Chain A
Amino acid sequence: MDPDTFRQARWDEPTLFDLDEGPAPEGPFDHETTNEANLPDEHARETVGIPTVPRSRLTRHLTRQAQMTFGVDTGTYPLGSCTMKYNAKMPEPLAHEPDLLNVHPLAREEDAQGILALLYQLQEALAAIGGLPHVSLQPAAGAQGEFVAMRMVRERFRDLGEISEETRCEVVVPDSAHGTNPASAAMAGFEVLEIPSGSDGCVDVKALEDAVSERTAAFMLTNPNTLGIFERDVEKIAEIVHDAGAMLYYDGANLNAILGKTNPGAMGFDIMHFNVHKTFATPHGGGGPGAGPVACTEELAPYLPVPRVKKGKDGLYVLDDGDERSIGAVKGFHGNVGVLVRALAYIRQHGSDGLTRVTETAVANANYLYQRIKDAYPAPGEALKKHEFVVTAEGLWEENGVGATEVGKRLLDYGIHAPTVHFPINVKESLMIEPTETETREALDALVDALLSIGDEAPGVVREAPFNTAAGRVDDVHAARNPLLTWDQVQRDQDGS
């Protein structure tokens, strides 16, 4: 495997503000401004600071920025826990249909029957996939879904009269949980208790038993867990949590590993979120928009965010505002609808048979990959993985100072995105690798070859990587010491120095 087969475009591209030619004498809507509305002077601003750049130069600027960005459309993206699968293209134009884009969220229900029908279909599909009967599509992303769930749990225990400073005040999470879990629980007002995982990376059932009590409102878990290992004791875990009177929460981040094999409802979870960009292939957009629908049991259903789509007796779809038990809203209107439509298209395209194959292929790819690299990069816990796995670069690190960060940076030179590095923290020099189902065997072999060849390369070279990307190693320590977050701050900084 040769790192020199890849070269990212490199433009010394100025910012829009460097390209700013100053306000143009004329612009769009010139002929439409009548100045009839005489606003009070104290509110009127002279300048806004929008750069003026010729359209041709602007388009080149954007094209160059795109060329200096790496997406799934560019190459393999084994970023663990993020499920960077190929974004199926069929759903994409549907999100740009004028018949969707031009529907206002406060349109009369009768004017929105088409989109309401699709959202209803998606609610039904997600309920079946999650094995939990009630769904809200409102949360904008997985983390907001977690927050919604924790808010719902809190309101449920409030109604039961169990919330106090001593009771149902705590949420328990494994130490390997994604950071959003404890952060979401804390935002909803809970104290967070982290419990250590067992040596196999799984929930230490004894530690869980000791941790839960009437103080516990919920236990947050993902299965397979962060190490990509299926928690075989999940039924026992559910029993322990429920015996303590608490709720069991499923983080949908790893749902891609279990479609058609089991589901959160069957495992005993009370409430969950879906990450539609992970499981249902909606594009991640360089950091969003995603969507984080929440599904739950009958008991928790009245607390779901509103409005929810229901089917009326006359066959028309309506927006239901629930009753006073609902937590209300966490974002405007009905959720990230354009993203949800893509997810529905993907689910319908694949169906029960296709989604099962998605999981089988994702798990097969991960296990193949792990078996091929395990001698160089061993993993803790049992050998059988689900859709992802966590290996350690500790051996390389001790041998020649090439750790997880360096391996990740050097992979970029091979035209492959880095795995997630240094997470989870309970594995030293961890590389979290998730190939997904859409990588071919050839792509997997290329990743294997790259990982193995990095281990054999001169450590000095690897430590200074990357070389083939638009920028060399970026000084993030400098960025954090002297935060310059706008072009104007950069100018002031440069003038001052």
Chain B
Amino acid sequence: MDLAHPTHIEAMLEDVGYTLEDLFRDIPQPIQRSLEIPKGEPDHKVEQDIQSTLAENTTLQDQATFLGGGSYHHWIPPETRFMAKRGELLTAYTPYQAEINQGLLQSLFEFQTLTARLLELDAANTGMYDGASAAGEAVLMALRTTRNRHQILTPEHIPHQRRSILNNYIDGASGTLETLPTSPEGTTDLNALEDAIDDETAGVHIETPNAYGRIEPLDEIAQITHEAGARLTVHVPDITALGLLHGPGHYGADIATSEGQPLALPPSYGGPALGLFAVDDAHLRRMPGRLVGHTHDANDDDAYCMTLQTREQHIRRSRATSNICTNQSFLAVLFTTTLAAYGETGFKNLARSNADKGHTLAARLAEAGAHVPYQDPPGYNEVLYEPPIDADAFRDEAKAHDIDPGIPAKHLMNNGTDGLIACATETTTPDAIDALANLIQEVS
């Protein structure tokens, strides 16, 4: 605790004619309450206790882990981890005062540039809470930029938590979510999309690589969507995929979002994470979130400031494009640091390595006796497989071997899919893949 001693406070107040009691005499007696929590504890005790409680977790380092599903474990360069402790950036507020926050503003401008390049769209904001809620805002924006259209089409293989998030974001705008079936290739069924889309459709929302690790046919989807006059919103659950794959804008997506956590910090039990949000220039003034623009200062030197704020809640109030205020700026700075530390070649290698690992994992699981329904053409770093025995029983068996073999599909998808969804990244060791393959062989 770091507070002035009460006697100092009393003395200070006395100088302006108050006592401490005076300060709270405006709170009516019937509603006065003291705090019903334990008294404060010494720093070292809190620290030790929280550390020892956290030690009860079984981490990615304690067992071979194949978990993805929206949160990914990638290697974060030391520069990023080092900068994560830099006090000026960590303890600043949103840079309302541009002159004294040029460093942060420049970093966020760099982040916007990287986001736009990765997603292959014109403009990007300084980030959203996470990828999943960014997708919610994207779908809401699709509704708001199309007239008298209320329907959003999305494939049934979107994870059910992310579907729930979309529902929450569009409910207030009277939007409805309709689902499309999955094709035999594990991607969106294009015939079903053509049948379902009509002049009620505001948007088509797609994730790629999708929850099965499959790359969606965005070219065809964009064509069908735009012919019907709807918006295409695309979410990339693991941003590292775009070291290898084209960004959604390349195929004509109007709005694209992604999860930037993989390049900012480890999973951290799911948060904080980082939403990336980019749009076609045509929709710039309808987009949510903070924007940093390039300008000049009184000396005519390059400068940056927050801009187009008339879209935002503090100016536009109930007519704002979004209620978002605080976002995830610090993670945007870390994300930018990671990418710069990787450089173009390193980042492309990282993505390549993930695709290779995912491919190897799929091949090894199939070889060992698991059923891998979607294997060809290769996907990215996730793969759906059915172990030779019941998925729950297999998970228990794996636990005994210090393996977390993937996310139960029924837990993630809630669409009748059986089996497990496993993820392999550049951090997954060959030994871990061996151990999982061996276990499958053992239980066969």
Q: What's the Cα separation between A460 and B106 when bound, in Å?
A: 29
The residue of chain A having its C-beta at the shortest distance from the C-beta of B67 within the complex is A104
Q: Which residues of B contact A263 (CB under 8 A)?
A: 33
Whether B270 contacts A105 by the Cβ 8 Å rule is yes
Assess whether A79 is interfacial by the CB under 8 Å rule: yes
Q: Which residues of B contact A352 (CB under 8 A)?
A: 34-40
* Also in contact, A97 and B54, with CB within 8 A (given A470-B102, A479-B305, A483-B291): yes
The residue of chain B having its C-beta at the shortest distance from the C-beta of A63 within the complex is B86
Q: What's the Cα separation between A168 and B41 when bound, in Å?
A: 46
* Also in contact, A232 and B28, with CB within 8 A (given A45-B250, A179-B312): yes
Of A84, A131, A189, A329, most B-chain CB atoms within 10 Å: A329
> How big is chain A's contact interface, by range?
35 or more
Whether B303 contacts A474 by the Cβ 8 Å rule is yes
Whether B124 contacts A51 by the Cβ 8 Å rule is no
Whether A361 contacts B9 by the Cβ 8 Å rule is yes
Assess whether A367 is interfacial by the CB under 8 Å rule: yes
Whether B32 contacts A262 by the Cβ 8 Å rule is yes
Assess whether B442 is interfacial by the CB under 8 Å rule: no
Chain A residues 156 to 177 lying within 8 A of chain B, measured CB to CB, are none
Q: What's the Cα separation between A340 and B62 when bound, in Å?
A: 24
Assess whether A400 is interfacial by the CB under 8 Å rule: no
Whether A37 contacts B107 by the Cβ 8 Å rule is no
Q: What's the Cα separation between A36 and B247 when bound, in Å?
A: 22
Assess whether B146 is interfacial by the CB under 8 Å rule: no
Contact residue among A110, A277, A283, A474 (Cβ-Cβ distance under 8 Å from B297)? A474
The residue of chain A having its C-beta at the shortest distance from the C-beta of B17 within the complex is A371
Q: What's the Cα separation between A40 and B331 when bound, in Å?
A: 32
Interface segment, one of A22-30, A206-214, A388-396, A450-458: A22-30
Interface segment, one of A68-76, A241-249, A294-302: A68-76
The residue of chain A having its C-beta at the shortest distance from the C-beta of B13 within the complex is A364
Q: Which residues of A contact B299 (CB under 8 A)?
A: 471-472
Whether B245 contacts A39 by the Cβ 8 Å rule is yes
Q: Which residues of A contact B39 (CB under 8 A)?
A: 351-354
* Also in contact, A32 and B318, with CB within 8 A (given A68-B102, A151-B168, A470-B103): no
Whether A440 contacts B93 by the Cβ 8 Å rule is no
Whether B91 contacts A72 by the Cβ 8 Å rule is yes
Chain B residues 40 to 71 lying within 8 A of chain A, measured CB to CB, are 40-41, 43, 46-47, 49-51, 53-61, 63, 65, 67, 69-71
* Also in contact, A478 and B35, with CB within 8 A (given A58-B79, A189-B172, A331-B129): no
Whether B95 contacts A286 by the Cβ 8 Å rule is yes
Q: What's the Cα separation between A428 and B142 when bound, in Å?
A: 38
Whether A262 contacts B33 by the Cβ 8 Å rule is yes
Whether A484 contacts B33 by the Cβ 8 Å rule is no
Of A25, A192, A328, A371, most B-chain CB atoms within 10 Å: A328
Contact residue among A25, A285, A489 (Cβ-Cβ distance under 8 Å from B92)? A285
* Also in contact, A50 and B37, with CB within 8 A (given A262-B31, A331-B129, A339-B272): no
Contact residue among A77, A115, A182, A285 (Cβ-Cβ distance under 8 Å from B318)? A182
A-B contact sample (14 more), CB < 8 A, given A33-B349, A35-B356, A112-B58: A12-B301, A32-B356, A70-B92, A74-B88, A179-B317, A180-B323, A286-B94, A289-B328, A332-B70, A348-B49, A361-B4, A420-B96, A485-B293, A486-B117
Q: List 27 A-B contacts (CB under 8 A).
A: A15-B106, A36-B359, A43-B244, A58-B340, A64-B103, A65-B89, A77-B93, A88-B2, A103-B268, A104-B269, A110-B58, A129-B35, A141-B324, A235-B30, A284-B93, A286-B108, A287-B326, A288-B329, A289-B327, A328-B168, A332-B132, A354-B1, A355-B35, A360-B9, A441-B8, A486-B123, A488-B117
